[in-house]
Amino acid sequence: MDEQARPHGGVANEGAFLPVLIVGTERKGQYSMKARLWRAVSAAALISCISAGSLAQYSHPTHAAGKTLHVAWFEFGPADVLATLGQQYGRETGTTIAVDRPPLAQWYTSVFNQFAAHHTSFAAAALDSQWLGQAVTDHDVPELTPWLKANLKVTDFYPYLFASYSQYPQRTPGTTGSLDLARGHFYGVPWFADAKMFAYRKDWFSDPANQAAFKAKYHYALGVPKSMDQIVDIADFFTQPSKGIYGYATHEQTGYDAAAETFLPWCWNYGGEIWNSKTGAVQGYVNSPRCAHALQLVDHLTQKDSPPGSGSNFIAEVTNDMNQGKVAMIESWLCCFAGLFDPKASTLGKTKAEIANKIGFFNYPGETYMGTTSRVAPLGGMGLSLSSYASQADQQEILKFVKWFLTPRIQQEWYTMGATPANNVILQSAGFKAAQPWNPLTAQVFSMVKDFWNMPEYSTMLKVMNDGINASMTGQNNAKTTLDTIAKKQAAILGATGRYSAYQ
């Protein structure tokens, strides 16, 4: 979320993140994650987060007598689904798979502190794509290349997803998504796919009065936007502060990767890049005219077309804005969209069907700007990797579970209960497309996803971007100054590594 939750699909308390402090041996990579955690600031905060109950949660023995094995993830809807399937696997095989589900803000810490101790309560862990490099470098996860090729039809998976969740190093260092099945090394199994898209009030869009007024003002038909520019027009049109109605809501806060993952697709869709992954150059990329133009539009949307106080918003708040009828469009992780169809949380209908009559979905429409046409969506999701510190017997048993989990029968249960496979054959199936209102667009979004840095310095690069973009979104800085500052700070981070030609 990259995640989000991603979020995503009924994430519990996504907006209530707690600060944490990494303890134990300092490790290469400084504890980076995409979707999704940040370093904390005090030991007192850590102590407040770890109660006797949470300590008990991680007290399972590493070798669990062959009856119950643990997978580490975090507290959100798909992890609950996995726990249900783990119980089913126990009934079928005698070995139950339990899922450790700390709050999202503690997920990374709970996994990598155990890696640092060379002793894990879990036999496998779901890892965000940018975590994989650190885990591989520090020998925390074993290589799975022979097993994957012998047990999975790897060509059934989206190449970009397979590379991002499984392969290290990438064909292009510092990036994700460059698959090399012939010579690549693989350390994870594609597990849970996610990406960003839009939800919108299709009842507002189809209202005849709105259609007539929009056509008179903008001289084209109101409908699913065909460009990023049209998103801005539509957001402006629906914003009516006197009525408590706004055109747009998105993730803006500095926690996690919220603000950064909002800026990135706008930058990419206007033809920008955040760096040169081959040379490491940042100057002239993240602060290019294309990226500056994109951030100016994001600033307009968040300052003019979003509900008041939106600068601290993340997934839960944006979902709530739609549920309460405040906004025409939201930009969020697709696996969060289940939260839009809870009648107990929504004012849009008393049943899921009533709500579905009012909410629709669309993918990033892309944009043609300065002679370049781009269409990109941010990648979320993660792979599953084994713990090097689990016994060989437990590792083998987890792989049996993985093989069972990835069968068509179980993958159908996986998506029926609200999770998203990474298998392209399944994503293209009629059953998957009918399972959720947004699923017909899911196969398309995974053909246009893009991820960002895969390097030990990921977390420090992300913090610089996240803090800077939030300041711009909330009017504390202008777009050009923000991006120039980000470029300067990130260039210093990359220059200190000695690995990139731009700084030699």
Residue 297 falls within a domain, yes or no?
Answer: yes
Determine the average pLDDT of the residues in 434-443: 94
Phi, psi of 19 (to 5 degrees): -70, 145
pLDDT score, position 25: 35
More confident residue, 464 or 335: 464
pLDDT of residue 130: 79
Residue 49 predicted with pLDDT over 70: no
Parallel/antiparallel/unpaired status of strands 359-362 and 367-369: unpaired
The pLDDT value given to residue 6 = 35
The span from the CA of 22 to the CA of 115, in Å, is 12
Cβ-contact 46, 40 below 8 angstroms: yes
For the chain, give the mean pLDDT: 87
CATH code at 370? 3.40.190.10
Q: In this structure, are residues 459 and 29 in contact, taking their beta carbons and an 8 Å threshold? A: yes
- What are the pLDDT digits (tens) for 383-418? 999 999 999 999 999 999 999 999 999 999 999 998
CA distance 472 to 193: 30
Residue 37 CA to residue 33 CA, distance in Å, equals 6
What are the Cα distances from residue 386, in Å, to 2, 43, 78, 109, 399?
21, 29, 19, 17, 9
Report the domain count for the chain.
1
Q: Is 36 exposed, middle or buried (0-12, 13-18, 19+ CB in 10 A)?
A: buried
More confident site: 182 or 346:
346
- The answer as to whether 356 is a domain residue is yes
- Within-domain flag for 186: no
> Does 414 map to a domain?
no
Q: What is the pLDDT of residues 98-112, one digit of tens each?
A: 999 998 778 888 999
Check pLDDT > 80 for residue 84.
yes
pLDDT at 66: 55
Q: Give me the pLDDT at residue 132, please.
A: 86
- Can you give the pLDDT at residue 173? 67
Contact call for residues 295 and 482 (beta carbons, < 8 A): yes
Tell the burial category of 53 from Cβ atoms under 10 Å away from its Cβ (0-12, 13-18, 19+). exposed
Instruction: Quote the strand ranges of 117-188, DSSP E.
Output: 124-128
Query: pLDDT tens for residues 138-187?
Result: 999 999 999 999 999 999 998 899 999 999 887 776 677 778 889 999 99
Take residue 446 and report the two structure tokens written for it.
Answer: 């995974």
Bridge-based pairing of strands 189-201 and 359-362 is: antiparallel
What residue numbers bound the domain in which 319 lies? Answer: 197-377
Q: Contact at 8 Å (CB) between 260 and 469?
A: yes
Tens digit of pLDDT for each residue in 245-258? 999 999 999 987 89
441 CB contacts (<8 Å, ≥6 apart)? Answer: 197, 361, 362, 363
Query: How buried is residue 335: exposed, middle or buried, by Cβ count under 10 Å (0-12/13-18/19+)?
Result: buried
CB atoms near residue 398 (< 10 Å): 25
Has residue 331 been placed in a domain? yes
* pLDDT surpasses 50 at 61: no
Give 280-304 as a DSSP string: ---TTTTTSHHHHHHHHHHHHHHHH
Confidence check: pLDDT of 273 > 60? yes
pLDDT digits (tens, 9 = 90+) for 119-132: 999 999 999 887 88
CA angle, 317 then 244 then 217, to 5°: 110
* Ranges 207-211, 302-306, 328-332, 457-461: which has the least confidence: 457-461
- Report which DSSP code applies to 312: G
DSSP letter (8 states) at residue 69: E
Phi and psi, residue 192, nearest 5° = -140, 115
For residue 367, the model assigns a pLDDT of: 98
Residue the block writes with tokens 């150059």: 281
Closest to 417 in 3D by CA, of 24, 50, 77: 77
For 453-478, what is each residue's pLDDT tens digit?
887 788 889 999 999 999 999 999 99
Q: Where are the alpha helices (DSSP H) in 219-335?
A: 228-238, 258-269, 289-304, 315-323
Sign of CA dihedral 272, 273, 276, 280: positive
Q: Which residue has the higher pLDDT, 28 or 352?
A: 352
The pLDDT tens digits for 183-236 are: 999 999 999 999 999 999 999 999 999 999 999 999 999 999 999 999 999 999
Taking the C-alpha atoms of residue 231 and residue 91, their distance in angstroms, rounded to an integer, is 49
User: Tens digits of per-residue pLDDT, 482-496?
Assistant: 999 999 999 999 999
Residue whose C-alpha is closest to residue 437's, from 368, 351, 344, 334: 334
The pLDDT, as a whole number, for residue 8 is 33
What does pTM read for this prediction?
Answer: 0.83
CA distance 383 to 406: 12
Query: Is the pLDDT confidence value at 9 over 50?
Result: no
- 328: pLDDT strictly greater than 90: yes
Strand-strand pairing, 377-386 and 449-450: parallel
Question: What is the Cα–Cα distance from 402 to 148, expressed in whole angstroms?
Answer: 10
**Residue 168 forms part of a structural domain:** no
Distance CA(76)–CA(13), nearest Å, equals 9
